[in-house]
């Protein structure tokens, strides 16, 4: 019994599933399509024609993946506008509908709904098939419209979203973009200028760079080229010309022919004559409206072009050119050599540690390398990398020009040696070099400049003249300025500054065991304490402002004359900081007199050099050598004559004191006392006459004076 029930239920389930899969889909499809106005074939639409009673037909055609406006102009359609229109057609559904066959029963006809003739007719094509959708007037609610089904049997009432999509003007339906090739896809930019110049310039991408291919072969400015491409992409159609005059547009011989090439496609834009300003009074002076067209399309239009972009394109040979003279990667530099007529060659070499050393290659002498100042070398590399051409003087100079501009004996010649591209100097691959030559200098409207060129191409540039000051040919200019840097555990335990002429001690102090400089200097003047503390800081890290000579001498030249050293500074240094005798070293510096407030010559046999001290060192030593002789600021009345009190004046003249009286008082009714001689203004006496005797002062009684 149970088996029979189970079999019956199983049979019913099978029948139910069969019913669902066989009959439910047609019902669902019928329910989904019951509100559809257009058949499903509209999803593959390839052509769309919009016909109206008051305007010319507007035709859209799909070519590949791009929609074009086929009439009245062959032009790409605006992607957003056409996609919105196609989506509205695909999703078009009615809110209600009724049959056309029942219209006679109500006394109405198609004309009452604006469907005969139709206000708008849409012709949709897929291959050879055509579907017509007629759109009539709006309903009384004013937010719905009547449409006639493609087979003409039903009238549908639809929403107004389709009409909003169709309300766009032809200008709004066209794509305003002229150059649709993005910068990252662009492979070349060609600019052709009309006669009389008839110049053709072409730059092409080469890896990460842009290079000129014509009229010369050289580097292009990557930023300038990509900026020009971006500005071309920003150009938009201002207006279309329905009946253009070929002579007025200037497009028969365009002033500029611009070609942008991308991946297997290119855009050629022709720019003609400017639009008359009288016809466009609102045009900005920073822009020019030009007639233009694309070479592969017949439509003529106008476009607003920035004047700066026009100037850059018309002078592309210089505006798009790389103004940098030297193109190198600083990390690949291995050496820099500098030469000047009559001077030994100066070479800077990078060590494997990354540090630099400098040496002067003297004839018949073995160069002695010295550590180079990394900051100065970095500045030199930066100046070379940033050297720019102010003017492109000549791209094909004559030999006479090269001699006139000083390249037969250049003022500077800088050679940069780089590692090869593979980063290895071994094997047959030679290290690439770049040679920069600086010729004579000149002046253009008061602005000095120098002629320069790079070995290889014969391009001559004008560069700033002060680059010669940056390219010093003195090896000591690049020397490491730090002569000594004591380790953290080292201490300076003694200073002894003496005058060399008489061995007199200017300042001397030795630290006792465990003593600090603060306690050792406690009895000194504050000025002396500050000077010694500053001098100790300078001696811990001894630096030269600049070097004067690479060897030490006991008779340095000061102001062109050999002169002995004025001071000797002995420094005791405890390397471990414990102060043991066997760990104390001594360092001696010889000092000259301070010159001009900022210059003091220092000599060291230990470092075998003469150098100018830093300003802090100069100030500290000057405070010790001259501080005790400094008279300080003058007294407040130093410029006035000595003034004596009335008591002192009376004592000097054996007269009673009248200090209680002032000039103008009348003791006991007497006449006013004259002012003392010492308080009177001193008048110079005539040289030919003896000075008159001063009149005797009237004697006043003490009591009267007291009153």
Higher-confidence position of 698 and 301: 301
412-421 pLDDT, tens digit each: 999 999 998 7
Range with the poorest average pLDDT among 148-152, 168-172, 484-488, 617-621: 168-172
CB 567 within 8 Å of CB 505: no
* 307 falls within a domain: yes
Three-state DSSP at 554 gives coil
Close Cβ partners of 506 (under 8 Å, ≥ 6 residues apart): 497, 498, 499, 567, 624, 625
In a shared domain, residues 149 and 274: no
In a shared domain, residues 255 and 267: yes
330-381 pLDDT, tens digit each: 999 999 999 999 889 999 999 999 999 999 887 656 668 889 999 999 999 9
Range with the poorest average pLDDT among 243-257, 288-302, 636-650: 636-650
pTM summary value: 0.69
Q: So what's the pLDDT on residue 631?
A: 58
* 693 falls within a domain: no
* 336 falls within a domain: yes
- What's the chain's Rg over C-alpha atoms? 49
Q: What angle do CA 214, 215, 218 make, to 5 degrees?
A: 70
* 365 falls within a domain: yes
* 63 falls within a domain: yes
In a shared domain, residues 223 and 299: yes
| Tokens 């920003």, residue located | 234
In a shared domain, residues 169 and 69: yes
| Tokens 């050119």, residue located | 321
In a shared domain, residues 256 and 195: yes
Q: What angle do CA 261, 267, 272 make, to 5 degrees?
A: 125
CB 389 within 8 Å of CB 462: yes
Q: So what's the pLDDT on residue 366?
A: 66
Q: Greatest CA separation found in the chain? A: 169
Domain-ending residue, one of 563, 594, 629: 629
- The whole-number average pLDDT for the span 92-113 is 87
Range of the domain at 493: 482-629
Q: 78 pLDDT band (50/70/90 cuts)?
A: confident
Is the confidence at residue 275, as pLDDT, over 80? yes
Q: So what's the pLDDT on residue 304?
A: 93
* 179 falls within a domain: no
Assign residue 567 the CATH number of its domain. Answer: 2.60.40
In a shared domain, residues 255 and 225: yes
Q: So what's the pLDDT on residue 214?
A: 92
Domain-ending residue, one of 290, 319, 348: 319
In a shared domain, residues 438 and 505: no
In a shared domain, residues 468 and 496: no
423-442 pLDDT, tens digit each: 554 555 677 999 999 999 99
* 247 falls within a domain: yes
In a shared domain, residues 137 and 244: no
Q: So what's the pLDDT on residue 278?
A: 62
Is the confidence at residue 251, as pLDDT, over 60? yes
* 624 falls within a domain: yes
Spatial CA neighbour of 452 closest among 387, 379, 378, 399: 387
Domain-ending residue, one of 611, 629, 647: 629
Q: So what's the pLDDT on residue 456?
A: 85
Strands, sheet with 460-464, edge to edge from the N-terminal-most edge strand: 370-371, 356-361, 345-350, 333-339, 412-418, 433-444, 447-454, 460-464, 391-394
Is the confidence at residue 632, as pLDDT, over 90? no
Range with the poorest average pLDDT among 276-280, 494-498, 499-503, 652-656: 652-656
CA separation (Å) from 440 to 233, 396, 407, 635, 641? 44, 18, 8, 58, 64
Is the confidence at residue 297, as pLDDT, over 90? no
Q: So what's the pLDDT on residue 340?
A: 94
Q: So what's the pLDDT on residue 211?
A: 95
In a shared domain, residues 221 and 352: no
Q: So what's the pLDDT on residue 687?
A: 41
CB 584 within 8 Å of CB 592: no
Q: So what's the pLDDT on residue 656?
A: 45
In a shared domain, residues 270 and 297: yes
CA separation (Å) from 505 to 496, 497, 594, 624? 7, 6, 18, 11
Helix 615-626 to helix 526-540 angle, to the nearest 10 degrees? 140
In a shared domain, residues 440 and 489: no
Q: 286 pLDDT band (50/70/90 cuts)?
A: confident
In the chain, the number of structural domains is: 4
């Amino acid at each position: 019994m149970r088996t029979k029930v189970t079999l019956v239920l199983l049979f019913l389930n099978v029948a139910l599933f069969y019913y669902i899969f066989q009959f439910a889909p047609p019902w669902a499809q019928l329910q989904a399509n019951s509100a559809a106005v257009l058949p499903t074939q509209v999803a593959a639409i390839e052509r769309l024609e919009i016909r109206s009673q008051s305007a010319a037909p507007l035709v859209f055609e799909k070519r590949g993946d791009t929609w074009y406006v086929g009439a009245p102009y062959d032009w790409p359609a605006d992607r957003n506008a056409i996609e919105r229109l196609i989506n509205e057609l695909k999703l078009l559904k009615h809110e209600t509908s009724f049959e056309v066959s029942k219209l006679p029963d109500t006394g109405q006809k198609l004309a009452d709904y604006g469907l005969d003739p139709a206000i708008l007719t849409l012709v949709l094509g897929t291959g050879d098939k055509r579907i017509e959708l007629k759109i009539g007037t709006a309903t009384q609610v004013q937010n719905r419209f009547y449409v006639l089904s493609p087979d003409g049997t039903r009238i549908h009432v639809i929403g107004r979203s389709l009409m909003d999509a169709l309300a766009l003007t032809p200008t709004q339906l066209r794509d305003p973009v002229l150059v649709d090739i993005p910068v990252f896809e662009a492979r070349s930019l060609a600019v052709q200028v009309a006669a009389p110049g008839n110049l053709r310039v072409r730059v092409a991408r080469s890896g990460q760079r842009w290079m000129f291919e014509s009229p010369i072969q050289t580097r292009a400015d990557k930023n300038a080229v990509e900026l020009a491409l971006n500005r071309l992409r920003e150009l938009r159609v201002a207006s279309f010309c329905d009946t253009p005059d070929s002579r007025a547009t200037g497009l028969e011989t365009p002033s500029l022919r611009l070609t942008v090439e991308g991946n297997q496609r290119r855009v050629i834009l022709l720019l003609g004559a400017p639009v008359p300003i009288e016809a466009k009074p609102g045009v900005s002076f920073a822009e020019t409206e030009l007639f233009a067209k694309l070479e592969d399309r017949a439509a003529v239009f106008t476009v607003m072009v920035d004047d700066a972009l026009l100037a850059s394109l018309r002078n592309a040979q210089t505006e798009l050119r790389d103004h940098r003279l030297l193109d190198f990667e600083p990390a690949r530099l291995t050496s820099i050599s500098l030469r000047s007529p009559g001077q030994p060659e100066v070479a800077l070499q990078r060590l494997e540690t990354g540090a630099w050393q400098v040496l002067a290659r003297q004839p018949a002498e073995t160069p002695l390398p010295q550590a180079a100042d990394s900051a100065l070398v970095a500045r030199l590399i930066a100046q070379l990398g940033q050297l720019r051409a102010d003017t492109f003087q000549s791209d094909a100079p004559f030999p006479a020009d090269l001699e006139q501009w000083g390249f037969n004996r250049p003022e500077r010649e800088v050679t940069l040696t780089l590692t090869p591209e593979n980063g290895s100097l071994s094997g047959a691959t030679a290290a690439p070099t770049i040679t920069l030559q600086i010729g004579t200098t000149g002046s253009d409207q008061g602005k000095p400049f120098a002629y320069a060129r790079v070995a290889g191409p014969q391009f001559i540039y004008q560069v700033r003249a002060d680059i010669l000051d940056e390219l010093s040919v003195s090896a000591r200019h690049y020397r490491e300025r730090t002569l000594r840097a004591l380790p953290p555990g080292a201490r300076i335990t003694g200073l002894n500054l003496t005058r060399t002429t008489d061995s007199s001690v200017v300042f001397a102090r030795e630290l006792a065991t465990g003593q600090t400089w603060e306690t050792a200097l406690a009895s000194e003047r504050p000025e002396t304490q500050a000077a010694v503390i500053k001098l100790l800081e300078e001696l811990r890290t001894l630096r030269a402002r600049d070097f004067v000579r690479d060897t030490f001498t006991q008779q340095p030249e000061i102001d062109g004359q050999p002169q002995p050293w004025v001071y000797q500074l002995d420094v005791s240094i405890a390397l471990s900081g414990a102060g043991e005798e066997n760990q104390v070293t001594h360092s001696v510096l010889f000092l000259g007199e301070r010159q001009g407030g900022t210059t003091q010559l220092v000599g060291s046999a230990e470092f075998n050099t003469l150098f100018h001290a830093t300003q802090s060192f100069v100030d500290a030593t000057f405070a010790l050598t001259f501080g005790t002789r400094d008279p300080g600021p003058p007294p407040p009345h130093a410029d006035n004559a000595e003034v004596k009190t009335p008591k002192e004046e009376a004592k000097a003249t054996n007269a009673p004191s009248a200090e209680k009286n002032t000039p103008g008082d009348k003791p006991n009714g007497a006449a006013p006392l004259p002012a003392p001689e010492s308080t009177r203004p001193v008048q110079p006496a005539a040289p030919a006459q003896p000075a008159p005797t001063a009149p005797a002062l009237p004697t006043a009684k003490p009591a009267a004076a007291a009153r």
